[in-house]
């Protein structure tokens, strides 16, 4: 764990010892290594938050499209809450970005272009 004040104290003692001429190379090396060990932070875990929304399935896609055709004034937010999916996914379904299997389209007339 990082402890900069402690590393600073080690380096200051090393400087004092070097000015007195009482330090040998092994002591210098050990002191510098000790100071460096107090200057390293542990990396945080790169962990994604768990998904809270349902994945898009063909059934959800078809149902969303049916609701949208019957009630076009219904907001994407209301539809997202109804199906417990991300609001952006609702917009993508309405735009035709999802294929027959409920997966994101990569080809065809509704595919996103570069």
Give domain status of residue 44, yes or no: no
Give domain status of residue 88, yes or no: yes
pLDDT confidence tier of residue 39, bands split at 50, 70 and 90: confident
Q: What is the pLDDT of residue 95?
A: 87
| Among 15-24, 35-44, 50-59, 104-113, the least confident range | 104-113
Give the range of the structural domain holding residue 75, as residue numbers without chain letter.
53-114
Number of separate domains in the chain: 2
Q: Answer whether 0.75 is exceeded by the pTM.
A: no
Q: Which residues contact 112 (CB under 8 A, 6 or more apart)?
A: 97, 105
Instruction: Give DSSP secondary structure letters for 24-93.
Output: -HHHHHHHHHHHHHTT-PPPPP--PPPP-SPPP-HHHHHHHHHHHHH-TTS-HHHHHHHHT--HHHHHHH
Instruction: Tell whether 28 and 81 lie within a shared domain.
Output: no
Beta bridge partners of 104: 98
Q: CA 33, CA 27: separation in Å to the nearest integer? A: 10
Give domain status of residue 47, yes or no: no
Instruction: Tell whether 106 and 73 lie within a shared domain.
Output: yes
């Amino acid at each position: 764990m990082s402890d900069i004040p402690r590393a600073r104290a080690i380096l200051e003692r090393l400087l004092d010892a070097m000015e007195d001429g009482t330090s040998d190379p092994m002591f210098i090396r050990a002191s510098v290594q000790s100071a460096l060990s107090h200057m390293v932070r542990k990396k945080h875990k790169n962990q994604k938050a768990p998904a809270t929304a349902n994945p898009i399935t063909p059934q959800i896609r078809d149902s969303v499209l049916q609701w949208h055709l019957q009630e076009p004034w219904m907001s994407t937010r209301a539809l997202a809450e109804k199906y417990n999916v991300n609001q952006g996914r609702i917009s993508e379904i309405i735009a035709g970005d999802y294929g027959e299997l409920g997966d994101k389209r990569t080809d065809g007339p509704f595919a996103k272009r570069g």
